[in-house]
Structure 1
């Protein structure tokens, strides 16, 4: 019986040591919920009082073409606000009523002659509530769930199709 108690004692001691040793593993790691992150393809725009801009992205098919502005803006203030975005020499704006949210893809905001193409980051300036904030915004391809926001006149490149004889080998 003494051998059994000794084994149990060692196992209990090992369990206590391992529990205490691993309990502090996350002490120096911040909680992921404590850090603000963009969870979509677009970016958030900080620093606009009474105004939130989330998931801002530009949908463009080709370099030098038009880009549709997508994302959401929320006016948490009590006055109407003019939201403006500009890139290069192009500018687009919409009015956001007090205490309301606007989906930008539905607001028909388009920047013309955007030099960058899909996959690039674009320097833009966002203005609202008498403040302008510079931000890097991703340009995305008008495919997948961005297809409905493709710029007017954009036509997708044809996808490669297979022919009847492709993939077979001749012997």
Structure 2
């Protein structure tokens, strides 16, 4: 009889431990299930279906030309045009993306004439969509010291 009680007690303790550990995931949601920027750039959710992913600017120095890295992803059934305006003026950079498609800035060769921020800092940028408005964001400015960014600067 004592053996049966010990077995039952061990089973109850194991069940209690399992329930306690399972409760930890209730209080701590899985953060990787939410969209985030896993690299050096930033993410801008323009709408639920349109986003700018891993946006950053590469330059050899302040006042030098810049090379945009990242992509605009359009999961909507409509074509979109997203524009980027950088602090310090200069022309707005438009990016047209067909419905259900994406544009990789590297493949498209999107550049700016001049970057008014030093590598290692950020530059105030306005991301615009004519249907939803403007988003002011701080975009990281990097140089070619981190591989493979040096390869992209050679293309700028």
Q: TM-score, normalised by structure 2?
A: 0.77
- Measure, in 2, the Cα distance between the counterparts of 1:8 and 1:67: 70
Aligned to 1:161: none
1 or 2, which has the higher helix percentage?
2
Secondary structure at the counterpart of residue 22 of structure 1: helix
- Measure, in 1, the Cα distance between the counterparts of 2:27 and 2:48: 33
Does 2:26 correspond to 1:27?
A: yes
Figure out how many residues of one structure are paired with residues of the other and give that number: 152
* CA spacing shift, 1:49–1:4, aligned 2, 3 Å: closer
Query: 5+ residue gaps in structure 1?
Result: 154-171
- Measure, in 1, the Cα distance between the counterparts of 2:80 and 2:4: 76
Cα deviation 1:124-157 (Å, max 9, x = unaligned): 112233532211111122241222321678xxxx
* CA spacing shift, 1:74–1:25, aligned 2, 3 Å: closer
- Cα RMSD after superposing both structures: 2.8
Could you tell me whether the CA contact under 8 Å between 1:92 and 1:109 is conserved in 2?
Answer: no
Could you tell me whether the CA contact under 8 Å between 2:126 and 2:134 is conserved in 1?
Answer: yes
Secondary structure at the counterpart of residue 150 of structure 2: helix
Aligned to 1:169: none
- Measure, in 1, the Cα distance between the counterparts of 2:5 and 2:33: 46
Aligned to 1:168: none
* CA spacing shift, 1:80–1:10, aligned 2, 3 Å: closer
Could you tell me whether the CA contact under 8 Å between 2:71 and 2:105 is conserved in 1?
Answer: yes
Q: Which has the larger radius of gyration?
A: 1
Q: CA deviation at 1:25?
A: 1.3
Query: 5+ residue gaps in structure 2?
Result: none
Aligned to 1:18: 17
